[in-house]
Amino acid sequence: MAESITLRSALDGFALTALHAAPQGPRQGGVIVIQEIFGLDSYVTEDVARWSALGFEVIAPSMFDRQQKGFVADHDEQGYATGLAYARANGAENPIGDVKACVDALKDKGPVFLVGYCYGGTVAWRAAAQVPGLAAVSSYYGSGVAGLADLVPACPIICHFGRKDPHIAADQVVEALRKAHPGVPVYIYENSGHGFNNDGRPDSDLEDAQLARKRTAELFRANAR
């Protein structure tokens, strides 16, 4: 069962809320879950529960608390517009300070990993290069990743994209990342579109989602130290 906690941003001391779940069984490490633009919705809550069940202590920060405390939106036109506006208003530095606060909360207890989706996928790519203390990162369908290909990840990272994603040209992202970082695994899921980790969504293929989760868990376990 996840609980609400408060963290202080490493950037400016801002108090942000987060979901926190203890590991079930022997602790495997810590996992930071970074949301889509829709806030800490039911899909984030489900993801937190999945990682907790695998033995990870989980923190999912509410990334738009500066814009609206506890923001959660429906996956519709209005929710998309509001979430996108909040993402832009939040800038590039605030998310990094918030991720650093999550790392600080977990690092003394073992390795710290990060997984991010959509908005969080771009944050994940940036964090892999800019936040010390991360053992490994998994980035899902981050639309800003290709434009940030010049950043150099400081830890192992893998990237996931859906072939049918109407927002991201998968082949162009693959080309950009392989040119800049030929050693970074980039996976394309042929049956899925955007947001395919969200079970039951129209663009989600369950087999693709399960394969991506398997690859992410294997990455984290391989880099536990």
Averages of pLDDT over runs of 10 residues in the chain (225 residues) are 92 95 96 98 97 98 97 96 97 97 97 98 98 98 95 98 93 93 96 94 92 98 91
Number of H helices, E strands in the chain: 6, 8
8 Å CB contact between 195 and 118: yes
Pairing of strands 15-21, 56-61: antiparallel
pLDDT score recorded for residue 14:
96
CB atoms within 10 A of CB 164: 15
**105/24 Cα distance (integer angstroms):** 18
* pLDDT at residue number 203: 84
Report the chain's terminal Cα–Cα distance, integer Å.
27
Q: Compute the distance between CA of residue 50 and CA of residue 15 in angstroms, rounded to an integer.
A: 26
Task: Quickly tell me which residue has 């030929």 as its tokens.
Answer: 182
pLDDT of residue 201: 87
Q: What is the pLDDT of residue 225?
A: 74
CA dist 29 and 100 (Å) reads 16
Considering only CA atoms, which of 64, 59, 157, 179 is closest in space to residue 119?
Answer: 64
85: helix, strand or coil: helix
pLDDT of residue 15: 97
pLDDT at 78: 97
pTM of the model: 0.97
pLDDT for the residue numbered 202:
86
Domains (range + CATH), the chain: 3-222 (3.40.50.1820)
Select from 146, 140, 141 the least CA-distant residue to 175. Answer: 146
pLDDT value, residue 20? 98
Neighbouring residues of 175: CB distance < 8 A, sequence distance ≥ 6: none
